[in-house]
Structure 1
Amino acid sequence: MGRLDDKVVVITGGARGLGASHVRRLSSEGAKVIFTDILEEDGKNLENELGENVIFVKHDVTSAEDWKNVVSKTEKTFGPINILVNNAGIDLPEVNLEEATEENFRKVIDVNQVSVFLGMKYVVSSMKKAGGGSIVNISSLAGIIGANKKIAYTASKFAVRGMTKAAALELGEYGIRVNSVHPGFIKTAMTEGLINDDLINAFPLKKAGEPEEVTNMVLYLASDESSYSTGSEFVIDGGLGAQ
């Protein structure tokens, strides 16, 4: 018996990194998974690896029409959606506030924040059909304490945390839980080059996180084991934010 047997799951940004870790683990726990990304080759390779209950859909998470298509395809293929993991996100190199551009700011907000709004908006009717569900929004430690010279990223991740709470208040009566996950420095392609010995020594646990450690939390929040948790933030940062 898997922890997600027969659950229908949508995971964004699932072609590699944290998202691919979520896809592998949740599918291994019995879920039927639609995962999305703009990285078509990586997505198809992962789909081929995992079998018939895991399907890749190319998806621009900033597009309402793409979201409608993802929900429609999921329902036609597997049925109403039980779980949404809003994982897609981007980061840009550090830049001083005076040098930050409006174009880059809006790009980060669109991918990291607007996509979460769209995802939640368009899965609600499907989750109501399913009799409830769980939405897991991937934020960041930068949504708890902020990140220096990353004003757009910090703004987007604080917004995800706030939207999570607002949605949880609204959707609880329908049996839909909404929580946010806040990773610190996790070993992925996005953080490659940022993690060094000085940074590691600043962590109380003296190590960067592994994708699987974040996935363990996502799995818990996706499953019925977290049935009384909603509107909350779950931090996975090796203790960095405790300082």
Structure 2
Amino acid sequence: MQVAGKTAFITGGGGGIGGGIAEALVEKGARVVLADVDLDHAQAKAAELGDAALALTLDVTSLESWAAAKGATEARFGPVDILCNNAGISTPRMDLEEVPPELFARVLAINVTGVQNGIASFAGEMKARGSGHIVNTSSMNGLNPFGTFGAYSASKFAVLGLSDALRQECAPHGVGVSTLFPGLTKSRMSLDPKDGPAADPETLAALLPRMMDPVWSGRAVVRAIEEGQAYIVTHPDYRPIFAARCEEILAAFGDPAQPGYGTGASATMA
């Protein structure tokens, strides 16, 4: 699917990876809607991108907010061809038993239910038209879980699962689905010591040189949309960790737990 002339709706579009996706799409001739809970950030990014961009307020946890944003988008640009479910939050580093229940619920509400709300708002019409593409932002934490980020990892693994299921549902209708797995990227989330991988300014300073400019993640997303790629990995240096985890899981596929299971033989107990 070529993105030129298409309309893209991007959540968390006011900066970071969402802003990078918007910038990359505009480079290729698309129109973009920057939907963000912080309208000031969205408007600032839209001003950089010019008439091809529209900034809107969106609370991804609210279907009413989605409906309002969808209506405003269609009034300006027409139907949405590309949906990028990118908005998300992280947590400070802490062991799982220390995560307050309300924080765990908020992470799931934004990172998982927010994605589902976007799918519910746009996927049906894409399938009916027989065209479109949906990009859901997971994380390298959605492939490689890390201690002290359990709540965030849980939410990003959920995004992978629902994306894979959605791809099966959408494929017969000509609608593509991609899952984005970014690593360290310059964004409000990663640059804020209170809410990201950097626990303190010293750690942040050490991580900063490893953080990718978000426009490059955005360009990877555009390639995936145009080439129909299912998975987008922007930071291949995590591959050895992922490979080791996959090997450990595959090694668990040994003999069936029940003797004779799957062979038609009756199970016998010693």
Q: TM-score range by the shorter chain?
A: 0.7 to 0.9
2:235 to 231, 237, 240: 237
- Whole-angstrom distance in 1 between the partners of 2:190 and 2:236: 15
Equivalent residue number for residue 154 of structure 1: 153
Structure-to-structure mapping, 1:168-183, within 5 angstroms = 168-183=167-182
Q: Conserved in 2, the CA contact under 8 Å of 1:208 and 1:238? A: no
The total of aligned residue pairs comes to 231
**Alignment partners' CA distance in 1, 2:111 and 2:130:** 28
Give the TM-score normalised by structure 1. 0.88
CA distance in 2, matches of 1:157, 1:37: 19
TM-score (norm 2): 0.79
Alpha-carbon deviation of 1:121? 1.4
Equivalent position amino acid for 2:13 in 1: G
Q: Indicate conservation of the 8 Å contact 1:161/1:233, yes or no.
A: no
Deviation at residue 242 of structure 1 after TM alignment: 1.8
Contact 2:23 2:218 (8 Å CA) reproduced: no
Query: CA offset at residue 126 of structure 1?
Result: 3.0
Q: Is the Cα contact below 8 Å between 1:86 and 1:119 reproduced in 2? A: yes
Q: Aligned pair in 2 of structure 1 residues 188, 98: CA closer, same or farther (>3 Å)?
A: same
- Aligned residue runs from structure 1 range 1-243, under 5 A: 4-128=3-127, 130-192=129-191, 193=193, 194=198, 207-223=210-226, 226-227=227-228, 229=229, 232-243=230-241
Q: What SS does structure 1 have at the residue aligned with 2:51?
A: coil
Q: State percent identity of aligned pairs.
A: 32
Partner in structure 2 of residue 203 of structure 1: none
Question: Which residue type is aligned with residue 208 of structure 1?
Answer: M
Any gaps of 5 or more consecutive residues in structure 2? 242-270
| Of 163-172 and 190-199, the range deviating more from structure 2 | 190-199
Q: Following the alignment from structure 1 to structure 2, what is the Cα–Cα distance between the partners of residues 241 and 199?
A: 19
- CA distance in structure 2 between the partners assigned to 1:196 and 1:150 by the alignment: 16
Q: CA deviation at 1:73?
A: 2.2
For residues 19-61 of structure 1, give each alpha carbon's deviation from its aligned partner in whole angstroms, at most 9, with x where no partner exists.
1111122112111111100111121222223222210110001
Say whether the 8 Å CA contact 1:80–1:129 is kept in structure 2: no
Tell me, in whole angstroms, the C-alpha distance in 2 between the residues paired with 1:62 and 1:14. Answer: 16
Aligned-partner Cα distance in 1 for 2:7–2:129: 9
Cα separation, 1, equivalents of 2:231 and 2:149:
21
Q: Distance in 2 between matches of 1:45 and 1:198?
A: 28
Q: CA RMSD in A?
A: 2.0
Specify the SS of the correspondent of 2:144: coil
Deviations 1:119-178 (A, max 9, x none): 111101332354311101111011001121112101100000000001011111111111
List alignment gaps of at least 5 residues for structure 1: 201-205
Deviation at 1:197, TM superposition (A): 7.8
Assess, with a 3 A threshold, how the Cα gap between structure 1 residues 26 and 241 changes in structure 2: closer, same or farther: same
- Tell me the amino acid that sits aligned with residue 91 of structure 2: L
CA radius of gyration, larger in: 2
Q: What's the secondary structure of 2:232's corresponding residue?
A: strand
The answer (yes or no) to whether the contact 1:134–1:221 under 8 Å persists in 2 is no
Query: Structure 1's 129 and 69: CA in aligned 2 closer, same or farther, altered over 3 A?
Result: farther
Q: What secondary structure is seen at the aligned counterpart in 1 of 2:189?
A: coil
Rate the CA distance shift 1:41–1:208 in 2: closer, same or farther, 3 A: closer
Q: Is the 8 A contact 1:15 1:46 kept in 2?
A: yes
